[in-house]
Structures are given as C-alpha cells and as structure tokens.
C-alpha cells in the first residue's frame, strides 16, 4: 500500500470526514496518525511538502531540553524525556539514535559545575536511563583531553551526557505514512484557503490543489489547525477578529565540512550570556545551531541572514579558538520558525518563552495547536485526539500510539514480504545499510526496485548516501514531486551531505523526469531551482 495523492484528492471531493487536519508538520501528521488509528475518518491537508516548514528545520534533537531545567519547566522536561525513551526503544528505534554530548563549564558563563551536575542527575532520573548511559562529570584536564579544540580560558570542568537525535523530516513522514496506512486521506501541495460556516460552525474548507490549480472543498465534522507558523492565518479565516496567539522566533543552523570544523565530540557551547549552541558532527559534516531571534516577516520567506552567521561563527570562535572559520566555510544552512505561545511575558527574550504547547478552541469548533516541541509530538497528538473524540461524542479509549511502533519499526505486512531477504542480499551490504538506516524494516520495499533495476542500486553521486531506487520509491510511494522534496525532506541530504546532494541533483531530476513524464525544460528547471536554493543557503551575504 502506498501514498496516492489522486486517490486522496478524490476522497476529499467525495467523503465527509470526522476530522480534517490542516498542516502536515510533525503535529498535524501525529494527530492524523493517532485519530486514524482510533477509527476516525481523517483528511490530512498540507499546503507544501510534508515537513516542509519547521519540522524539517529543527536541531534534530529528541531531548528533554536540559536548558529548560533552570527555567523551572520540569513538566516539559519530564514529559519530553519519557517520549524520547519511547521513541528510542519502542516506536522509532530505526530513526532515533543516541548522541553523547560533552558539556564544558566555564567560570562566569552559564552553568557552574554544581548546577550542571544537579541538573544532569535530574535529567537522567527523569529519563530512567540504564546506568551505562548516566552522565559523568569531568575535571578541566579531562575535558581538555576529550576535546583538545575547546578553549581552556576559565575552563573549570564539564560533563558527558546522553541525549538523542533523529532525522526530523523522516520521522514526520513516517507519521504521515502510518496515518495513510490506517485509512487517512493524505495530500501534500493542497492548501486550505477559506472556511464555510453552517449555524456558526465550520462545515467545510475551501482547498486548492497547488500542483493542478483546481479548487475544491473538504467536508468534516471537526477541523484542527496544526499550521505551525501560519496558525494565526488559519484562525483569521475562521474569525477575522481573532487576536494572534503565537510569537514567531527564527532559528538558524549552519553546516560545515568536518575537515574545516574537526571536532571529536558533540558539544554544548554557550555564548557570552550563557545561551546554548549545539555542535553536532554527523558523518562528514557538522551541524551547528541555533539562533533565537524575533521574526516579523512572511513565514514563507524565512532565510539565514548575515547576522545569524556572524553570531554562530562568534560562538565557535570563542569556544574553539584554534579553529578559524569564515562565511566561505559554510557548506549549507537552514532557517526555521518557532511558533511560541504569546504571553504577557512578550517583553522577555525569545529563549525565555515557554516551549509548552497551547490548545485553543474557537466558537466555530476550530481546534488550534501551537508551540510545543518536536520531541513531544506524540503526547501532544494524544491530548488533541482525546479532545476531538470528546467533541465528536466518542469514547477516547486507550491511546494506540503509546505502544505502536511506526511503520519502519514493525514487521512488513505479509503481502510486502515476499523476496525481501533476497532483494536486500542482491544489492550488497553498503546499499542495504543506507536503506535500513532510512526505512528501517521497510528497506526491502526499496531494495526490490534496485534488485529489478541494478542501475538504480548505485549512489546518486560520488560519496552520496542515497540510491537511484530511492528516487523511484519516493515518487511512486512517498508523494515526492520535486528534486527538493527528495533531497531536502525524503533523505535530508541537503544538510547531511550538502555538496553530494548538489552533485546528485541532475541524476535525481533525470529519474524523476522518467517517472513523472517531465520534459527536458522541466528537468533542467528542477536542477536549477534546487542548485540555486542550495547555493544561496551556502553563500550568505
């Protein structure tokens, strides 16, 4: 069974759904999955690509958020750590991996050794990790030995502790896929444009197919607004007098080749005011972020600015004084928007605004979710679906997502099994490893394509950890419609292997052209668009 956009659009026209979810970032995708698993008929409507906004631009951490402890956000940290452990060990072990951080402590900046040790003890207790994953404290000499590149000026010691990371876009996609597998009608590139009311309640949403241009409508008994940075735009469609409920702040990440930023460890650095910046080596590249500044522009146009690069380079220069980096060393960057709850504390610095989600209900019945952490998406969805069930007069029952693995973490359905082992063997160990890392137990579905067409069992460019067969699979079964859909969100190559991704763009476009019937002009335009975007994310003026 695969995602089929035309079928979903036909269902949008024909059915009345129990629930229509607007936005397929992680929150919308997780709600659609949970609701479909509880037996509701669900439409999941996404204006761009799945995870096309904030949910592919996070720091990729599945974490409790150590920095929230001093802010007293204990409930958030506890809940997030419980979710981290569930994802790591039960629901998404193929996508959520441990990451060990070195956290150096400097006199007069951020945490001191005592508060750090206290905080990490609480952190590990909340997570209930096994003893081998408990944090360890280090003296200054041990920190220097562990990461010689770190500044030694006023270094008093540090700690090593475990957290987790994941490919955020892929995790979002697995929620979308599971919603589909449980009967939801799912479509990307379909925008909600307006609502029609009956007796003061929303009865239908006007939608536009962003690929074909046609307009249509989706009827549902309940509508849920999970539009991330655009939640207020959707609330305005519902009630033009509604006040904004979110404050947008921008977060930028930079990617460097490991050859120019040769750190041994994942690091927790602090700026001169104690604000945390993560440095995370992933294979041949290092992800550095993030910033946190108010944003008032068009959410669709958020980009990395010169000031963002300057700030992150300054933190690196201060903490890793022997490593000289400049703008020209940035291999890629991405910028995302946090939709933080608006509070009376709006004068507070962005980093001080609570990260917990808020759930609002308007008189027309529209439910809005804003804020929250990627890590807590399942728990947020559980709360929302409990509420939807109540409003629909149904029993909420036991939430099925508490104990159900995502598709790539459970056995293939019987019909998908034949020939799996042989297909995985035939493509060789290196290719099998690439597919398993991305698709988990579903890797044989892609391997079968490569086994049938050996020319697609090769990497898309030199050193590129993706195969031609994945492009075919992404078009046939994952609703990819552009080179960017594949290189940015289906595989995350745009940040995990940015230079290899750029080199792979022509091969990706050629395979897509054959699958989707593009002419030469469209194929060239796709390569040009991706290359331009990738280069502009690299060369920040």
Ligand X SMILES: Cc1cc2nc3c(=O)[nH]c(=O)nc-3n(C[C@H](O)[C@H](O)[C@H](O)COP(=O)(O)OP(=O)(O)OC[C@H]3O[C@@H](n4cnc5c(N)ncnc54)[C@H](O)[C@@H]3O)c2cc1C
C-beta neighbour count of 315 within 10 angstroms: 19
Q: Which is nearer to ligand X, 251 or 407 (CB)?
A: 251
**Following DSSP, what letter does each residue of 458-493 receive, concatenated?**
SBSSTT-S-BHHHHHHHHHHS---SHHIIIIIIS-H
Q: How far is the CB of 191 from ligand X (least distance, A)?
A: 4
Residue keyed to tokens 């290899």: 500
Residues 204-243, interacting with ligand X (CB under 6 A): 226-230, 234
DSSP conformational letter for 304: -
Tell me if 47 contacts ligand X by CB under 6 A.
yes
| Measured CA distances, 227 to 30, 92, 369, 435, 520 (Å) | 13, 24, 8, 31, 35
> What Rg, from alpha-carbon coordinates, does the chain have?
23
Q: How far is the CB of 249 from ligand X (least distance, A)?
A: 7
Q: Which is nearer to ligand X, 96 or 261 (CB)?
A: 96
Q: How far is the CB of 49 from ligand X (least distance, A)?
A: 8
Q: How far is the CB of 30 from ligand X (least distance, A)?
A: 8
Tell me if 385 contacts ligand X by CB under 6 A.
no
- The interface region with ligand X, picked from 90-98, 366-374, 421-429, 438-446 by CB under 6 A, is 366-374
Residues 336-365, interacting with ligand X (CB under 6 A): 336-338
- The interface region with ligand X, picked from 12-20, 333-341, 344-352, 433-441 by CB under 6 A, is 333-341
Q: How far is the CB of 84 from ligand X (least distance, A)?
A: 9
Choose which of 5, 12, 41, 58 interacts with ligand X (CB under 6 A). 58
Tell me if 66 contacts ligand X by CB under 6 A.
no
Tell me if 441 contacts ligand X by CB under 6 A.
no
* Closest CA relative to residue 99, chosen from 132, 62, 124, 127: 62
Three-state secondary structure along 221-268?
EEEEECCHHHHHHHHHHHCCCCCCCEEEEEEEEEEEECCCCCCCCEEE
Tell me if 506 contacts ligand X by CB under 6 A.
no
The answer to whether 80 and 65 have CB atoms below 8 angstroms apart is yes
Q: How far is the CB of 480 from ligand X (least distance, A)?
A: 15
Q: Which is nearer to ligand X, 111 or 295 (CB)?
A: 295
Tell me if 46 contacts ligand X by CB under 6 A.
yes
Q: Which is nearer to ligand X, 140 or 341 (CB)?
A: 341
Q: How far is the CB of 457 from ligand X (least distance, A)?
A: 32
470: exposed, middle or buried (Cβ count in 10 Å: 0-12, 13-18, 19+): buried
Q: How far is the CB of 369 from ligand X (least distance, A)?
A: 7
Per the DSSP assignment, residues forming a β-bridge with 252 are: 335
Tell me if 88 contacts ligand X by CB under 6 A.
no
Q: How far is the CB of 294 from ligand X (least distance, A)?
A: 13
* Closest CA relative to residue 475, chosen from 438, 453, 449: 449
Tell me if 489 contacts ligand X by CB under 6 A.
no
Q: How far is the CB of 195 from ligand X (least distance, A)?
A: 11
- The interface region with ligand X, picked from 24-32, 215-223, 309-317, 415-423 by CB under 6 A, is 24-32
Residue keyed to tokens 């559980």: 382
Q: How far is the CB of 65 from ligand X (least distance, A)?
A: 7
Tell me if 484 contacts ligand X by CB under 6 A.
no
Residues 172-201, interacting with ligand X (CB under 6 A): 191-192
Tell me if 372 contacts ligand X by CB under 6 A.
yes
How far, rounded to the nearest angstrom, does the alpha carbon of residue 332 sit from its chain's CA centroid?
17
Sign of CA dihedral 522, 472, 6, 381: negative
Q: Cα(89)–Cα(404) distance, rounded to whole angstroms?
A: 12
Tell me if 79 contacts ligand X by CB under 6 A.
no
Residues 249-308, interacting with ligand X (CB under 6 A): 251, 290
Q: Cα(261)–Cα(269) distance, rounded to whole angstroms?
A: 14
∠ CA 86-40-232 to the nearest 5 degrees? Answer: 80
Tell me if 498 contacts ligand X by CB under 6 A.
no
Tell me if 375 contacts ligand X by CB under 6 A.
yes
C-beta neighbour count of 131 within 10 angstroms: 6
Q: Which is nearer to ligand X, 8 or 54 (CB)?
A: 54
Tell me if 53 contacts ligand X by CB under 6 A.
yes
Choose which of 17, 28, 150, 341 interacts with ligand X (CB under 6 A). 28
- The interface region with ligand X, picked from 49-57, 264-272, 420-428, 508-516 by CB under 6 A, is 49-57
Q: Cα(531)–Cα(329) distance, rounded to whole angstroms?
A: 18
* Closest CA relative to residue 286, chosen from 297, 277, 298, 275: 277
Tell me if 373 contacts ligand X by CB under 6 A.
yes
Helices assigned H by DSSP within 246-332: 306-319
* Residue 36 tokens, joined: 């479909």
Q: What number of chain residues touch ligand X (CB under 6 A)?
A: 38
∠ CA 45-50-55 to the nearest 5 degrees? Answer: 115
* Residue 132 tokens, joined: 């081998």
Tell me if 127 contacts ligand X by CB under 6 A.
no
Tell me if 52 contacts ligand X by CB under 6 A.
yes
Q: Which is nearer to ligand X, 384 or 431 (CB)?
A: 384
Give the residues lining the site for ligand X (CB under 6 A). Answer: 22-28, 45-48, 52-55, 57-61, 63, 191-192, 226-230, 234, 251, 290, 336-338, 372-375
């Amino acid at each position: 069974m695969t995602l089929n956009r035309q079928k979903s659009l036909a269902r949008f026209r024909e059915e009345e759904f129990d629930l229509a979810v607007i936005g397929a970032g992680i929150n919308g995708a997780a709600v659609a999955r949970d609701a479909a698993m509880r037996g509701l008929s669900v439409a999941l409507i996404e204006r761009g690509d799945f995870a096309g906004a904030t949910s592919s631009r996070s720091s990729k951490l599945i974490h409790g958020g150590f920095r929230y402890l001093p802010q007293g956000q204990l409930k958030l940290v506890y809940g997030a750590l419980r979710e981290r452990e569930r994802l790591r060990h039960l629901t998404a072990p193929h996508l959520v991996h441990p990451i060990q951080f070195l956290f150096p402590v400097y006199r007069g900046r951020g945490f001191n050794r005592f508060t750090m040790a206290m905080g990490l003890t609480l952190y590990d207790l909340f997570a209930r990790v096994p003893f081998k994953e408990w944090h360890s404290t280090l003296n200054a000499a041990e920190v220097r030995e562990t990461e010689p590149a770190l500044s030694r000026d006023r270094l008093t010691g540090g700690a090593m502790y475990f957290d987790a990371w994941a490919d955020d876009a892929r995790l979002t996609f697995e929620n979308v896929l599971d919603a589909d597998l449980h009967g939801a009608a799912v479509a990307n590139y379909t925008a909600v444009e307006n609502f029609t009311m009956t007796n003061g309640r929303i009865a239908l949403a006007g939608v536009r197919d962003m690929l074909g241009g046609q307009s249509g409508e989706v009827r549902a008994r309940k509508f849920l607004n999970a539009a991330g940075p655009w939640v207020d735009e959707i609330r305005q469609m519902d009630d033009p007098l509604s006040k904004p409920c979110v404050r947008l702040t921008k977060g930028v990440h930079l990617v460097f080749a490991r050859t120019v930023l040769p750190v041994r460890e994942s690091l927790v650095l602090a700026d001169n005011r104690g604000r945390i910046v993560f440095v995370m080596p992933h294979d041949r590249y290092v992800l550095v972020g993030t910033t946190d500044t108010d944003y008032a522009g068009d959410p669709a146009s958020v980009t990395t600015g010169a000031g963002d690069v300057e700030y992150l380079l300054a933190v690196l220069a201060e903490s890793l004084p022997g490593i000289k980096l400049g703008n020209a060393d940035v291999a890629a960057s991405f910028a995302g928007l946090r939709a933080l709850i608006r509070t009376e504390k709006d004068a507070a610095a962005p980093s001080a605004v609570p990260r917990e989600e808020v759930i609002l209900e308007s008189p027309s019945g529209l439910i809005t979710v804003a804020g929250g952490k990627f890590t807590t998406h399942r728990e947020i969805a559980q709360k929302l679906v409990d509420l939807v069930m109540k409003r629909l007069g149904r029993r909420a029952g036991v939430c099925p997502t508490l104990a159900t693995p995502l598709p790539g973490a459970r056995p293939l359905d019987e019909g998908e099994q034949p020939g799996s082992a042989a297909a995985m063997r035939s493509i060789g160990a290196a290719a099998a490893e690439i597919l398993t890392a991305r698709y988990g137990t579903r890797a044989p579905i892609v391997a079968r394509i490569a086994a049938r067409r050996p020319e697609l069992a090769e990497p898309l460019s030199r050193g590129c950890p993706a195969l031609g067969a994945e492009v075919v699979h992404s078009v046939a079964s994952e609703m990819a419609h552009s080179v960017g859909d594949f290189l940015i969100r289906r595989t995350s190559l745009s940040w995990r292997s940015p230079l290899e991704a750029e080199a792979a763009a022509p091969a990706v476009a050629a395979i897509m052209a054959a699958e989707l019937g593009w002419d030469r002009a469209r194929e060239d335009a796709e390569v040009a668009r991706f290359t331009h975007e990738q280069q502009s994310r690299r060369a920040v003026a």
